[in-house]
Chains A and B, each alone.
Chain A
Amino acid sequence: MNKTYDVIIIGAGPAGLAAAIEAKKTGAKDVLIIERNDEPGGILLQCIHNGFGSVLFKKDLPGPAYAYNFITEAKQLGIEMLFDTMVLDITASRKIYATNSHEGFLEFDAKAIVLAMGCRERTRGQIRIPGTRPAGVFTAGMVQRLVNIEGLMPGKNFVILGSGDIGMIMARRLTIEGAKVIKVVELMPYLTGLRRNYVQCLQDFNIQLSLSTTIKRIIGKNRVEAVETVKVDDCLNPVAGTEEMIDCDSILLSIGLIPENELSKKSGVQLDPLTGGPIVDENMATNVAGIFSAGNVVTIYDLVDYVSKAGFIAGKNAAMYAAGQTAVKKYVEVKAGDGIRTVIPQKISVERGLVPLSNEVLFEMRVTKEYPSKISVDLMDGVNVIASHKEKYARPAEMITMKVDWNDLTTKLSKDTAGLVVKIS
């Protein structure tokens, strides 16, 4: 007979650990995390740089140290963890099928599920760089794993495509380990990662950054021998005559992350084409009853602190769902308006039986372009401004978090609203 758990969490990264902890604290008796890796911590285990915990702990911790706090608490609370186990399928009736090498095929039933599978990296195929297909082209996260966990250095002279945080952090890491990082090239006219990483990872080590530049061609037969870069114009089209050859033996791709949602789709969870993750409400509930979701599987976060916060909310609400508390009765949609590229949650409950973690609703947004001076992010119900949030500037690379009180929101909301819109003004 299958064992039935109150809450099963898929993925033991920061989102999954936080969800498990909060589910247990909320009263769920049997809580299980299923993880394909051989230990908990998720991506944080390879993020050995500091920069984690500024919001939750007011500290600047390395990734593994941040994870350690949660791993310890999860163990103390008696949360069951199953490692080296890959979840293969989830159904809308909350059956989970998984496999591992020592027990074979496994089947579980869950009263509630939290999806916390994180994300994967965009690869060369997804952006179609022309040229030969030699060895020496890596994704940044893969090299991070090789260098920081396995202790392997995959090349000597690197060119990095993409100015995202992983790319810049790896530029510094490779330099510290004795490799040469010749250049970071970025297609967009702006930095796509955090500026603090530009300062401490590139500037500090005199690593050159070329904006509005891309790789035109990769050259090399068996191993990468050179890359040809080219400048692009405002419409991102290559500008003839600006080509440059750079000798190198390795190329690192830091060209974005994609929420990992193969499993979500199988269970009937609806995805938002803009975020690439499940459509969620403020309780991190998906459209499938009893299936919740948190972390990079929902939208790509900059800061792990907010990933953990989302995990807490998902875990709390999953435990309450498992205990039979009634669900939401009525929703209004939240849409991205002028200047906003992505927003979660995509819907807000306006009548609910569920008591949320707190009345704090966190809107996480990204803007479409750079706003160099003061902006206001407004949450509108069609007629009125429900809430407003000010920023000194906004950049696509930096997520904007807006806190809104749920009571306040629902009181102000006009009765016959067609939906909420967040926009920049």
Chain B
Amino acid sequence: MERKFICIRCPQGCEIITTLDGHGVITELTGNSCKLGPEYVKQEISDPRRTLTTTVMVEGGTHPLCPVWSEKPVPKDRVMELAAALRGIKLNAPVEINQIVLANALGTGINVIASRSIHGGI
């Protein structure tokens, strides 16, 4: 079976064409420009993951929201669940960049961290 992928590991977005045998094992792979391509495809077949970026509320800061991201990609089918969990979180200013906002998110072992600092308001 032939399956096409667009690698999302970098902005180049290589189109990768793979041939899979009956057990989902890759027998042929073309189109990648670097070694991350095959790695992406393998991951995408066995356990697709995505980085979640969103915002959480901040109390007493110069801005009402702080942008956050999952330090590593989380299972794709849990992205919306994680976004919902983060909607319930409220931070207190000041927030430091890389500060852990939610540790071991949904038990995945992955932390959600702040992608900027928010100073305390006046």
Contact = CB atoms under 8 A, between A and B. Distances in A.
A68 B116 contact: yes
Contact of B8 (A200, A302, A392): A200
Interface of B: 6-15, 31, 33, 50-55, 57, 63-65, 67, 69, 76, 79-80, 83, 97, 115-117
Contacts of B97: 64-65, 68
Contacts, number: 83
B64 A48 contact: no
B51 A50 contact: yes
Given A150-B65, A199-B13, 12 more contacts: A45-B116, A48-B67, A50-B51, A51-B11, A64-B115, A65-B116, A148-B65, A176-B80, A194-B11, A196-B8, A204-B50, A302-B11
A62 B116 CA distance: 9
Contacts of B14: 392
B56 to A, nearest CB: 10
B60 to A, nearest CB: 14
B54 to A, nearest CB: 6
B55 A148 contact: yes
15 contacts: A45-B116, A50-B69, A54-B10, A65-B115, A68-B97, A68-B116, A148-B65, A149-B63, A151-B57, A176-B52, A176-B83, A177-B83, A196-B8, A200-B8, A204-B76
A194 B8 CA distance: 10
Nearest to B51: A50
Contacts of A48: 53-55, 67, 69, 115
A198 B10 CA distance: 13
A195 interface: yes
B116 A199 contact: no
A148 B6 contact: no
Given A196-B6, A198-B6, A54 B63 contact: no
Contact of B6 (A54, A60, A151, A195): A195
A176 B11 contact: no
A56 interface: no
